[in-house]
């Protein structure tokens, strides 16, 4: 199925983000460290896309984009998204909402409209690398394009005291 996901993302990029580049450096890159190593860049340039959902109630979701070295604060994110409490979304929910599997979720081109929050550290970079549809592809994209394409809110959601 990953091939289909990459084709869907490629089609989306051709229509909406022609400056973005889909890369396939070779090895699988299911983690920030693996992606940074494969791309020969700092983890700050690698953006992780993490889907959270409400613990109870309607199970609304919010996607957060943070630099690879930052740890997202679910408490800060819940306040910003006006949700009571959050948990990481299940793999099934990630696929249903974004259209992509865990480890390959791109920062743009999701299957369904989802609230997106981008940490300001992402905007400090001229370009970043995010998931490219599967664990073998990465998307090189300008952070401003991410915000424009997703209608993202820019807000600090990384815990300043902890890095991952």
List pLDDT tens digits, range 29-79. 988 999 999 999 999 999 999 999 988 766 799 999 999 888 999 999 999
pLDDT at 69: 83
Helix (H, G, I), strand (E, B) or coil at 144: helix
What homologous superfamily does CATH list for 2-163? Answer: YbaK/aminoacyl-tRNA synthetase-associated domain (3.90.960.10)
Domains in the chain: boundaries: 2-163
pTM metric for this prediction: 0.91
Neighbouring C-beta atoms of residue 4, cutoff 10 Å = 11
Buried b (16+ CB within 10 A) or exposed e, 87-112: eebeeebbbebbbbbbbbbbbbbbee
pLDDT digits (tens, 9 = 90+) for 69-117: 889 999 999 998 888 889 999 999 999 999 999 989 999 999 999 999 9
């Amino acid at each position: 199925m990953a091939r289909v996901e990459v084709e869907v993302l490629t089609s989306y990029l051709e229509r909406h983000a022609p400056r973005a580049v889909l890369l396939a450096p070779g090895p699988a890159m299911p983690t920030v460290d693996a992606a940074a190593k494969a791309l020969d860049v700092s983890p700050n340039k690698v953006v992780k896309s993490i889907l959270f959902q409400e613990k109870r109630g309607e199970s609304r979701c919010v996607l957060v984009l943070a630099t690879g070295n930052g740890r997202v604060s679910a408490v800060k994110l819940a306040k910003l998204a006006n949700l009571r409490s959050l948990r990481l979304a299940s793999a099934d929910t990630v696929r249903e909402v974004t259209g992509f599997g865990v480890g390959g979720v791109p920062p743009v081109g999701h299957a369904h409209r989802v609230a997106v929050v981008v940490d300001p550290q992402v905007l400090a970079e001229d370009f970043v690398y995010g998931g490219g549809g599967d664990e073998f592809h990465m998307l090189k994209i300008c952070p401003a394009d991410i915000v424009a394409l997703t209608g993202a809110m820019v807000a600090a959601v990384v815990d300043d005291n902890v890095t991952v």
